[in-house]
Amino acid sequence: MISHREKVEIIRSAIDAWNRGDWDEAFRNTAPEFELDNSLTLGEWRGVHKGANEVKRMWTGFLEPWDSVHIEIDEFVDGGEHVVTRQTAVFRGRDGIEVEVRTGWCWTFRDASIVRLFASNELDDALEAAGLSDSR
């Protein structure tokens, strides 16, 4: 079993790679059965996306209308096999419009691999997914 600190470093590395658009590196520590659960979000990317290739296609479509998107993790919460993150994403449109969004995600690990990422617009949803909703 890996430590919380090691999980945090894996997540930081994945987000740094995501911010660079380096999809292969972003998925370096994901399990073959990795899934991204966007079932609570709105838009065409809503749903559960399975496998790195499907998630890459979804992310590419999600990013297409934006000039740039940058994610900064603000907080990590230890949840045993889960790590909950609170992050801020800054979206910059091609016309100079900027949108800032705060979200909560629950990362599920098996050994040193990410097996699931549950993404929500609400931190409470991510805490609940990790079984931590009553502990904060």
**E-state strands within the chain:** 30-37, 48-50, 66-79, 82-93, 98-110, 113-120
Please name the amino acid found at residue 111.
D
* 41: DSSP letter: S
pLDDT of residue 47: 81
pLDDT of residue 43: 67
Mapped onto helix, strand or coil, the DSSP state of residue 30 is strand
What are the domain boundaries of the chain?
4-128
Q: Per residue of the chain (136 residues), what is the pLDDT tens digit?
A: 899 999 999 999 999 999 998 999 999 999 999 999 998 876 667 789 898 888 888 888 878 888 999 999 999 999 999 999 999 999 999 888 999 999 999 999 998 999 999 999 899 999 999 999 765 5
First CA to last CA across the chain, in angstroms? 24
pLDDT tens profile 77-115: 999 999 999 999 999 998 889 999 999 999 999 989 999
pLDDT of residue 94: 84
Class of domain 4-128: alpha beta
pLDDT of residue 85: 98
